[in-house]
Structure 1
Amino acid sequence: MKLWRWRFALAVFIGLLGAAVYLSPQGTAIEEQFGLYWLFHLRGERTAPADVVVIAVDQASATHLELPLKPSLWSRALHARLIDRLVEAGARVVVFDLVFDRPGSDARHDKQFAAALKHAGNVVLVERLDFEETRFPGMAADGSYTHILREYTGKILPIIADAARAHAPFPLQKSSWVSYYWTFRPGGSDMPTLPSLLLQLSSAEVYEHFLTLLAGIDPALIRQLPASVNEADVENLVLDLRNLFMQKPVLAEKLLQKSAEGENLDTAQQRILRALIDLYGGSEVRYLNFYGPPRTIRTIPYHLLLDEGGGQPETAGELDLAGKTIFVGFSAETVSGQDKVRDDYQTVFSLPDGLTLSGVEIAATAFANLLEGESIHPAAPVNGALILLLLGTGVCLLCFVIPARNTMVHTLGMALAGILSFCAYGSASVWLFGQWQLWIPLAIPLMVQLPVGVIGIVTLLYFEADRERRRIEALFGGHRPEPVVRDMVRGAGPIHTEGQLVYGACLATDAEKYTALAEAMDPRQLAALMHAYYECLFEPVERYQGKVSDVIGDAMLAIWAAGSADPLVRERACLACLDIISAIERFNHQGGYGRPPLPTRLGLHFGEMVLGNIGARQHYEYRAVGDIVNTANRIQGVNKHLGTRLLVSEEVVNGLNDLLLRPLGRFLLPGKSQPVNLFELVARQSGSNAAQRQLCAAYEQALHVCQTGNRVDALHRFEMIHERFPEDGPTRFMLTYCREPRLFPVREAGELIISIQSK
C-alpha cells in the first residue's frame, strides 16, 4: 500500500502540474504558440467560404497599372472605378483596408471617390489605431517620469468618411504572433470592430426576422431599434444591440431556442441569424480559425477588375462577385513585395520563406469566421484544467498498472501505454478541433506533463527497484552467491527452473556424534547449541565471500560461485575452511554450561554446478545441483576413514602455492566411478610449523614409495612416521593398508587407487 501511495501521489502531481501551468499566463502563451500551431497543421488547410473575396493591391497590379507598389500613392480615381465595378458585379459589402487620412494629390479624385462611396452605399472603411505617449513628472525623489499611453482612432478624411456607409477599427494583438481579435474594442469602450459591423450589414435580409424574435421575448426590446438596417446608423445599431445583450445575459440563449423553431428561412439565412445572435451573446475575444497560408482565401489582383476587354480572360461580371463581401487591401505575393509595404502579421500559417498573412487577409478571415460561426472555441479555464488533471493522473496510473514479467518488459509496456495514451488524446484533440472548432490543451500535455511524467515515473521506478533489490539482497544474500542474487534482482519475475551453470567451490561439513547428541539433549538446549555451532561455521564463509546454500541438522553446504575457474575463489574457499577448523577448535575447547564438543569434518571440491530453483508445484528451494555437490559430501566422508578434519580435491588446490598440503593419493569414493586425488589442507604456508612441514614431506615420500608398488619399503617409512606422530590418522590408515592390503580393494592400472566402500 505504501508503494501505491507514492505512485498515486506522483500521478496526482502530474495532473495538478498540467492544470496549474494551464491556468497560468505562461500556460496560455504556450498553448497559443505551440498548441494552436500543431492543431492547425495537423488538421490541415480548409476551404475558405466563397462569400468572402480579397481584392489585392499587389506587385502584379502595380506593374500592370504602372503605379508604385505603395497603396497611398495610388489614385483615388482608380478606387472609384473599382467601387463602380464591384457595385455592377453585385457585391454585398465592400471593405477598404487602406489609409485615407490625408487629401490625395488631386482633389477631384477625392470627390470622385467620395461620390462612388455615396452611390454604392455599402462601403466600409478601416480606421487606423494610433497611440500617443504622454510623460508626466513623477513623485519620486529621483526625478523619474510617469508614462501614459493613450490609444485613439486615426481620423479619416472627412469628405471620404462622410460618404462611406461605416468605418471601424480592426485592432490586433501587439505581439509577434496573432491568434485572436476582438469583436468589440477592449478597454471599456465596447465600440464595435470591423468584423462586427460587417456582420450586421450582411444580415440585412434577416434583420426583420431578428426583430420579430426579440419582440416575441419582450416587445419593449425593439422600441428603440430601427426597423431596417438600411435606415440605421450601423455603428449605433451595433452598440445598442451590444448593450441590450449585456443587460440581459440570457437573451442569446432564448433567441437561439426561438430561431431553432425555423420560420421561412433558408439554410444561408438561418446561418446568418445564428451568427448575429452569437456575435452579441458571445465572447468579445475570438480566436481566428485560419484557413491556410497566404492567399488561401480567394484573392483577385486589383487590376483585373479595371480591365474591360483589355485582353484579360475575366471581367468583373465573370468573376462571380454577386452577394460577396469584398475586402480591398494590400496583399503581397512575394517576400520582396511584403518587405516594401509592411502590413503583415506572424500567424500559424506563416510560410518558411517569410511570407505571412496581410492585415486584409486576417480581417477577411475574422469576418468569415463570424459569418460561418466557426471561430475557435478554447476550453474554459476550469474545463481545460480538469482535462489536464484527469489526463495526467489517468495516464500515469495506467503506466503503473501495466503487468510485466520483468523490468525491461515493464518499462517497454509503460512507454507503449504512455505513447498510445497521448497519441489517442492528441488524435481526439485534432478531431475536436477540426469538427467542432474546440481547442483543448495539447502543448502542455506534450511539453510539460509528458517529460515530467517520464522523469517522475523513471525516478520512482528506480527507487522502487533499488528498494526491492536491497530487500532481495537482504533476504537471500546470506544464502546465495552474490552474482546469483544480482542476477535474481536484474531478472526478477516468475520462478524459473532451468538454473544457471557456474564454476564454484563446494564445501560440505558434518558434525560427529550429532545423532546421539540430538537424541539425548533437550530440543531447546540442542537448538541453542546448534545456533552457537553454526555461528562458528557461517562467519568464516561470509567473511571470505562465500554463501551458505543449505543447512540440514548438523550438515552445512556452502558455495563460492564464479564465472570461471578463478584461483581467487578457490583460495578464499580454502582459507575459509582453515578458519572454520580453528573456530570449531575454540568452540569445542570453550565448552561451559554442559555444552558437548562437536568435532567437524570438512570436504571441499571445485567444478561446474547449476544454481537454481529446484522443486515443483508451489514448493521451490534454491539449490546447488551437480556432481560437485555429491563429490564434496563424499570427500567429507573420507575424513572418517583417514582420521582427518579437512580434505580437499586436487581441482581445488591446483596452482595455489600459499597452502601447506599433504597429498593423500587417489581414492575411488563410494558410488563414484572416477577416482579423486585428495589432499589434506593443513595450514597456510606462512602459518605452519616445522613439525607440520616435516610430517607432510615424510608422508609424501612414503606415499610415493607405496604408489610405486614397494609396500615393504613403504611400510617401513610409515612406521617411522607413526613413531614420531602416533596420532596421525592418514599414517595409521596407510599402515593398515600396507599390512593388510586385502582390506582395501585397490584398482591398479599403473597407479594406486584406493577404493572407499562406505560413506
Structure 2
Amino acid sequence: MTRFWLRSLAIGFVVFLCGGAINFIVDLESTLGLDTLLRIRGPQTPPSAIVLIAMDEASEHRLGVGQDLTRWRSFHAGLIQRLQQQGALLVVFDLQFIQPHPADDPALVAAMREAGNVLLVECVQKFRHGVEDFYGREECSDTNSQPVVARDGDSNTALSEQLVAMRSVTATAAIAEAALDHAPFFLINDAENASIREVWTFFDALAEAPSLPMVTWLYYLQRSGATAQTDRPFSAWLTEQRRACRSKSDGLPARSPLQRRIDNLLCNGDSRYLNYYGPPRTLRMESYSDVYDGKVGDLQGKVVFVGRANRQFSPGKSDFFQTPYSDSRTGKMAGVEIMATQFANLLEDCFIEMPAPSGLVSGAFGLLVALVLVRFAGWTGIAISLAFASMYAGLAVWLFGLRHWWLPVAMPLLLQLPLSWLLTLAWSRYELMRERGRMLAFVRRVFPQWVGMLPAAPGQWTETANVGAASTERDVSGLCLATDIEGYTTIAARHSPREMWTLLNTYYQVLGHPVVSHDGVIADVTGDAMMAVWFDAPASSQRRAACLAALEMATAVASFNLSSSLAPLATRIGLHEGELTLGRLDAGDTSHYRAIGDTVNTASRIQGVNKYLGTKILASKSVTADLTDIVYRPVGAFRLLGRAEPVELLEIVGTVGQIDAQHNALYRQFADGLQAFRQGQWNDAARLFQDALEMNTDDGPTRFYRQQALARLQNPEQAWDGVITLDGK
C-alpha cells in the first residue's frame, strides 16, 4: 500500500511540474483552454441596456470626415443633444479630447453641461525604456509621446529595460470640467497580436484609479436607484475606497449583497477575466450617422458607448483587438466594444472566475489519474483514466456555462493526461527490467545451468549451450519462510484434482506476490507447502522484509478466501534464520533446485506450532531482532519434534500503528500469565490467562496456555524447565 501511494504521488507530482512548466512557457490554459470553453459555450444574449454607437465606414462617408478623428468633434455636440432627446441614461465616449479645437469645443462643452450624463475616457500611456517602446491610443499617442522619466546626462543613453512607467492623459480642461466624470481605460498594444482576455478594474500603478467601466457602473447604479448619491465624482470615491480597503487586512464591512459585490471589486485584485458574449458586433451596435440623423429609436434608459467601430473588418485600422472569438471571418473587436463588454459583465455580475486555484485543481486531477493508472495496469488503466478525463471535461464545460467558472482544461487534458500515460508506462518498464535483473542475478548465483536459456533482452531467447562447468550448490546465511495449509488433506478429498489445481494455481499467485515484492525468492512449492528464502542482504533488511511479506501473505490469503467459491485455505507461516545450502539435487535424469538445511526444517516445524497456538505467523526470537516497526509478542519456548534444543517463539501480529490499545492490554496480560507459567506457578498462570480470555475469547495462545496450566495443576511435572515439548508437527 505504501508503494502504491508513493508511486502515485511521484507520478502526479512529476506530471504536475512538467505540465505547469510547459503551461507557464506557452500560456496554454489561457490561449487554448479558456478560448475553447468560450467557443463550446457559444454566444450569449447581452444586456439590453447597452447600445454602441459606431463611428463606422458608413458614417465616415455620410458625414464626410474620413478616418481623421479630429474632424468628428464638430458632430459630437449634435449627437449628445440627440441622445438627450431620446432619453439615454449615460453617454460614454471612448475618445480622447486632448487637443483643443476652438471652433468646435464651445458647442461640445455646452451640450455636455446640459446633458449632465457624459463620461469620458482618459488615455493611459505606458513607457518602457523611453520612446523606443511606447504604448498609447490615438490622439494621446500622437501628441504626448515624450517619456515620463527623463534621462540623466547623455540624451542618447538608453533607459533601463526594467524601467516601466505609466501615466494618464485627460481631455482639455474645459471639456473635462463639463463631463460628469472621467477615468482611464487601457488595452494592450494591438501590435503584439495578443487576445484580450483580462481587463483592469483598477489601475494601482495610477494611484489606484478605477477604470471607466467601473465608474460607469456606479453611475448606472446611482441613476437606477440602487445606490446613494455621493458628494464627489465616483472616480474619486472609488479611489478613496480602494486605498482604504488596501490599508485594512479585513477589507470593508459589507452591508448588502450589492455592497459585497462592490467590496469584492474594491479589495480583491485589480483585474478580471472578460466573459465575452460572442464575436465582434454581438452587442447592439448602431451607426453614428443614423443616430445623429434621428433614425434610431429605443434609446430610453440606455447606456450608450460612443467610439470607433468598423462594421466590416479592416486590418489596417487601429484600436481593434484580438478576442477568443476572433477569426478571419469575424475580424477583431473594437476597443469601445471591449469597454462595453466589461461594463456588461459588471452589470450582470458575470466575470469569468476560478472557483479554486488553478494549480490545486490541476494537481488533484494529476493525482487521481496517477492513482487510476497505478491501480489498473495497461489498457484498463488508460481506458478508466480517459473516462475520468471525459467526465472532468464535461464538468468543466457545464460549470462554465452555468456559473462562468473556469476550471483548467488544457493543462489537465492535453499535458497531464498523456504525460501520466507515458510516465506510468516508463515506470512499469523500469520495474519490469529491475525485476528481471534481480531474477537473472539470482539464477546466475544459484542455478548457473539455466543462464544459457535466459533472455538476452525482453522478447529474445537464446539456446546456447552452457559454457564451462559451474558449481551446483552454494552456502548462504539467510532467512527461511515456510507455509502450510491447515486441513489440506480433508479439503483435497472433497474436490476433484482439476478443482484443486485451479484453486492452488490462484492461491500460490496470491501467496507468492508478497514474497517477490519484498525481494524474496520462492525456493520450492510442493503440494500445499511453499518455501521462500532471503539472502545476500543485511540481516536487518532480510528480517524486516520477511516479516512484512508474512503479514501481507496473511492479509492476501484472507481476502482470497472471501472471494473463493471453494473451501477456505487457512495458511500457517513459520520464520527462522540460519545457514542454508542452495543448489541442485539430481534424481535420475532430472534435477531439482532446493534450499536445504536445518534452517529449512526448523522453519517448517515452527509453522506447525501455529496449529497448537491458534496463530497464523510464528517466528524464532532472532528474526525480530532490531525491528522497531514490527509488533510481536513472545509465546514461550518449545522443544520441536526432532530438535533437542528449545526454540523461543514469537507471534508476528502487525506493524506499529495497526495495533490498538485493547490488543496491547491483552498482550500485557498474556505476558504476565506466561511469566507465571514458565515459573511453574500454575494457579496464578491459570487465573491470569482466564482474565486475558475475558478481554478476547478468541485469542489462541491464551486458550492454549490456560489449558496447559490447568492440566499441570492437576498433574504437576517433577522437573519443569519452562519449555513445552511437542510430540507432533
TM-score of the aligned structures, taking structure 2 as reference length: 0.55
Return closer, same or farther for 1:14/1:98 CA change in 2, 3 Å cut-off.
same
Tell me the SS of whatever aligns to 2:92.
Answer: strand
Pick one of 108, 115, 134 that aligns with 2:110: 115
Tell me which of 123, 126, 130 is aligned to 1:128. 123
Deviation at 1:70, TM superposition (A): 3.6
Shift of 1:198: 0.4
Matches within 5 A, 1:220-235: 228-229=229-230, 232-235=232-235
Q: Residue in 1 aligned with 2:174?
A: 159
C-alpha displacement at 1:124, in angstroms? 0.6
Separation in 2 of the partners of 1:619 and 1:240? 81
- The answer for the alignment partner of 2:221 in structure 1 is 203
**Partner residue of 1:349 out of 310, 325, 343:** 325
Distance 1:373 1:618 in 2: 65
Asked whether the equivalents of residues 210 and 273 of structure 1 are also in contact (C-alpha less than 8 Å), the reply is no
2:91 aligns with one of 91, 94, 99: 94
The 1:210–1:484 alpha-carbon spacing in structure 2 relative to 1, beyond 3 Å, is: farther
Runs of 4+ in 1 over 6 A off after TM superposition: 471-486
Instruction: Determine if the alignment matches structure 1 residue 438 to structure 2 residue 435.
Output: no
Distance 2:78 2:224 in 1: 30
Supply the RMSD in Å over aligned alpha carbons.
4.2
Look up the SS of the partner of 1:94 in the other structure: strand
Does residue 39 (structure 1) correspond to residue 37 (structure 2)? The answer is yes
Q: Does 1:419 align with 2:414?
A: no
- Within the candidate set 349, 364, 387, 1:390 is matched to 364
Distance 1:199 1:620 in 2: 76
Please name the residue that 1:77 is paired with.
74
Alignment of 1:398-547 (within 5 A): 398-402=372-376, 410-467=377-434, 543-544=464-465
Structure 1 counterpart of 2:581? none
Pairwise CA distance, 1:354 = 7.4
Partner AA of 2:502 in structure 1? R
The 1:205/1:618 distance shift into structure 2, 3 A limit, reads: same
**3-state SS in 2 of match to 1:421:** helix
Identify the match of residue 331 of structure 1 among 298, 309, 314.
309
Aligned residue identity for 1:335: F
What residue identity is the alignment partner of 1:425?
Answer: Y
> Contact 2:20–2:411 at 8 Å: present in 1 too?
no
Maintained 8 Å contact 1:87/1:120: yes
- Please say which structure displays the higher CA radius of gyration: 1
2:254 partner SS: helix
Q: Return the offset for 1:485.
A: 8.9
* Distance of 1:439 and 1:33 partners within structure 2: 13
* 2:502 paired with 1:617: yes
Counterparts in 2 of 1:586-601, with a 5 A limit?
none
2:151–2:157 contact (8 Å) kept in structure 1: no
Equivalent residue number for residue 570 of structure 1: none
Instruction: Note if contact 1:91-1:326 (Cα within 8 Å) is conserved in structure 2.
Output: yes
Instruction: Give the TM-score normalised by the residue count of structure 1.
Output: 0.53
From the superposition, tell whether residues 90 and 245 of structure 1 become closer, same or farther in structure 2 (CA, over 3 Å): farther
- Aligned counterpart, 2:593: none
Residue 358 of structure 1 aligns with which residue? 334
Deviation at 1:476, TM superposition (A): 10
Q: Distance in 2 between matches of 1:179 and 1:110?
A: 36
Could you list the per-position Cα deviations for residues 187-222 of structure 1 after superposition, in whole angstroms to 9, with x for gaps in the alignment? 260112201210111111466x756xxxxxxxxxxx
Query: Shift of residue 468 of structure 1?
Result: 5.0
**Contact in 1 for aligned 2:53/2:307 (Cα 8 Å):** yes
Distance 1:150 1:8, change over 3 A: closer
Q: Which stretch shows the higher mean deviation, 9-18 or 294-303?
A: 9-18
- Report which stretch shifted further, 476-485 or 293-302: 476-485
Instruction: Output one character per residue of 1:608-656: Cα deviation in whole Å (capped at 9) or x when no partner.
Output: xxxxx999434569xxxxxxxxxxxxxxxxxxxxxxxx9xxxxxxxxxx
Count of residue pairs the alignment pairs up? 454
Q: Select 2:274's aligned residue among 276, 288, 293.
A: 288
- Residues 223-275 of structure 1 show CA distances to partners (whole Å, capped at 9, x for unaligned) of xxxxx24x53332222233334445564656323xx4xxxxxxxxxxxx6664
Partners of 1:327 and 1:360 within 8 A in 2: yes
Name the CA shift for 1:480/1:373 in 2 (closer, same or farther; >3 Å): farther
Distance in 1 separating the partners of 2:308 and 2:16? 47
In structure 2, the CA distance between the partners of 1:78 and 1:5, relative to structure 1 (3 Å rule), is closer
Partner of 1:168: 183
Distance 1:354 1:39 in 2: 18
CA contact (8 A) 1:19 1:386 kept: no
Unaligned runs of 5+ in 2: 128-145, 470-497, 507-588, 590-729
Deviations along 1:573-618, whole A, 9 cap, x unmatched? xxx9xx9xxx9xxxxxxxxxxxxxxxxxxxxxxxxxxxxx999434
**1:392-441: per-residue Cα shift (whole Å, max 9, x none)?**
11111112212xxxxxxx43222212222222222222222222222232
Residue equivalent to 1:30: 28
The alpha-carbon deviation at position 346 of structure 1 amounts to: 2.0
Query: Is the alpha carbon distance of 1:15 and 1:145 closer, same or farther for their aligned partners in structure 2, counting shifts above 3 Å?
Result: closer
Aligned identity (percent) is 29
The question of whether the paired residues in 1 share the 8 Å contact of 2:443 and 2:451 is answered with: no
* Alignment-derived partner of residue 61 in structure 2: 63
Amino acid at match of 2:367: T
Q: Give the Å deviation of 1:448.
A: 3.3
The amino acid across from 1:239 in the alignment is T
| Distance change >3 Å, CA 19–CA 466, structure 1 → 2 | closer
CA contact (8 A) 2:217 2:343 kept: yes
Residue identity opposite 1:182 in structure 2: W
